């Protein structure tokens, strides 16, 4: 049994971290039984054993791994059946997709839902969340999110590489889902779980692909709690 420390909201069943979702899809893909423990931003003492202050963190026997990318590499090395990275080049090329998700997809979504996030985080996390994010953006959460109805078209246009990559294939992993699908869909679980604002279009190739990911692993993503 692998223990996962997983970001939760005021509602302990609301799990919404885009990085934790990447790890959860990877664990589900490999069929690894997981004890998923709710964790809040200010629970840094609870993961101090990992030597850093952010989730996801997994404990697998005596092994502790933090950082979603390092966890994916660890899981594929330790449990090589049903590969998610697929060897040195598969891993190296997935690293670009991870970089795109972290530098285009995730910041784009943040500007659409960051004020909504404040409504779902735990009461004890609210001050930390507002202060840390407003410092990062240099604006209030309300200012960052303002005008999202006008900005969402540009965000959706920034997803063109995803649309092109999915042309003629069901998964970013090709004929089978891979960690590439987990990276991008895990990031999209973040707005799905926390906001009623439609970050991605309701139809089209991205929505269809995301629907397929939601159905994977016994509907693991689809059954997750949302606001």
Specify the residue, 38 or 90, whose C-beta has the smaller distance to a copy of itself: 90
CB of 163 to a copy of itself, least distance (A): 8
Q: For residues 26 and 172, which CB has a smaller minimum distance to a copy of itself in the complex?
A: 172
Provide, rounded to whole angstroms, the least separation between the CB of residue 188 and a copy of itself.
15
Q: Which residues bind a copy of itself (CB under 8 A)?
A: 83-100, 102-104, 160-162, 164-165, 169, 171-176, 178, 180
C-beta of 100: minimal distance to a copy of itself in Å?
4
CB of 207 to a copy of itself, least distance (A): 18
Q: Which is nearer to a copy of itself, 63 or 103 (CB)?
A: 103
How many residues comprise the chain? Answer: 227
Q: Which one, 95 or 212, has the nearer CB to a copy of itself?
A: 95
Q: How far is the CB of 85 from a copy of itself (least distance, A)?
A: 7
The Cα 66–Cα 36 span in angstroms is 14
Q: Which is nearer to a copy of itself, 131 or 160 (CB)?
A: 160
């Amino acid at each position: 049994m692998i223990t996962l420390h997983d970001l939760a909201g005021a509602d302990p069943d609301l799990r919404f971290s885009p990085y934790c979702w990447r790890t959860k899809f990877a664990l589900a893909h490999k069929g690894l039984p997981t004890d998923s423990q709710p964790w809040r931003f200010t629970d840094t003492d609870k993961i101090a054993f990992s030597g850093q202050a952010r989730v996801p963190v997994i404990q697998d026997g005596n092994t502790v791994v933090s950082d979603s990318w390092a966890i994916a590499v660890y899981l594929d090395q330790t449990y090589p059946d049903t590969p998610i990275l697929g060897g040195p080049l598969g891993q190296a090329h997935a690293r670009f997709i991870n970089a795109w998700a972290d530098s285009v997809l995730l910041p784009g979504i943040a500007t659409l839902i960051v004020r909504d996030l404040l409504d779902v985080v735990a009461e004890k996390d609210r001050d930390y969340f507002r202060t840390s994010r407003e410092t990062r953006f240099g604006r209030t959460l309300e200012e960052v999110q303002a005008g999202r109805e006008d900005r969402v078209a540009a965000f959706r246009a920034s997803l063109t590489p995803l649309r092109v990559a999915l042309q003629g294939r069901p998964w970013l992993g090709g004929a089978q889902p891979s960690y590439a699908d987990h990276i991008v869909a895990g990031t999209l679980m973040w707005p799905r779980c926390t906001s009623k604002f439609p970050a991605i279009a309701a139809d089209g190739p991205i929505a269809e692909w995301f629907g397929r990911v939601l159905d994977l692993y016994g509907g693991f993503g689809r059954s997750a709690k949302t606001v």
